[in-house]
Amino acid sequence: MTHITTTPTAVRLADVQPPAGWVASWERKKRGNVAVHWAVEFIAEAFGVFLYTYAGTGSTAAFVLGNLAQQTNLGSLFQVGMAYAIGVVLALTLCSRVSEGHFSSGITLVMVALRKCTPARGLRLIIAQILGAYIACMLIYVQYKDLIEPIEAALKASGNYDAIQFTPNGPAGVFALYTPAHANLGHVFLNEFVTDFVLGVAIFGSLDPTNTLIPPAMAPWTIAFTYAFVIWGYAPAALAANSARDVGGRLAALTIWGKAASGGRYAAIAALTNIPATTLAVFFYQLLLGDSSRLLPAAHQEHLALTRAHSSEESEMTHSVESLNDKQV
């Protein structure tokens, strides 16, 4: 198979719109200083997860708290799915060029297993992902606190607090994920595994550069609406779909309400199931749906060429980053 030989004419933003002196100085530091590079990558990954958590959890807060306050039309499952989808699009389009856009601990661990990401870098990304979700949930709690506290007081006064608080329909359920009452954990695991598997196949199919039907600009929307459809169809049966969102939200709930918000045995299912499901999805796609002998469409060739042209300027710094990664845990 022939290699890509055509490269778009290199016209950089700085050539047509020179940055201010302090911006140029900062950009040189981003490219040439390993610690700064890591920090920027960490922030980008955290902010990507923050974006879809802030979008989706905020919509969930309106839906759940509106129902508890008996206020109609403040939200719906459809709105929640759309909010998460928009958040995913924002994360991928705004942040992925910096951190490579994992935004999911399951995806990061798969990349580590495939040796496309070093273990040290993978650990940094996972910490960033969880932190991004945690910050988003804590901010949403503060923004909604004036609504949450009266609702909790009303639940306690009516004697329904213990029955509702730590369920999908309670205030804590806005941030941490819980199973419906009397749910069979085996069925919950199956629901989580199958939906995460389908989501994983959609993600890797969208990232396949030989996929003529999903050009690079379409990939964020394909992934986002796959998230939306699994939320619309399977969130009522208990769905996490992303370890970073689940663990970050769980830690936020534990910070606010203490050990009572732990989630019991379901917490492990929510946090871990997407990892084997995503791993199976990538092998399923690569072995059965993918094919390295396919030709690359022009849109993907241009995308890869532009990415390589930018990366070549940072190759020296990248090699130093990789060598340091290999020496660290």
Is the pLDDT at 47 greater than 50, yes or no?
yes
Task: Give the model's confidence band at 312: pLDDT under 50 very low, under 70 low, under 90 confident, else very high.
Answer: low
- Confidence (pTM): 0.88
The domain defined by 30-147+164-296 carries CATH number 1.20.1080.10: yes
Is the pLDDT at 283 greater than 80, yes or no?
yes
CA-wise closest residue to 134 among 249, 258, 45, 46: 249
Sequence ranges of the domains in the chain: 30-147+164-296
Highest mean pLDDT pick, 215-224, 295-304, 306-315: 215-224
Predicted confidence at residue 321, as pLDDT, reads: 46
d(CA 200, CA 178): 22
Q: C-alpha angle with apex 104: 98 to 106, nearest 5 degrees?
A: 130
CB 226 within 8 A of CB 83: no
More confident residue, 279 or 5: 279
Phi, psi for 253 (deg, rounded to 5): -65, -40
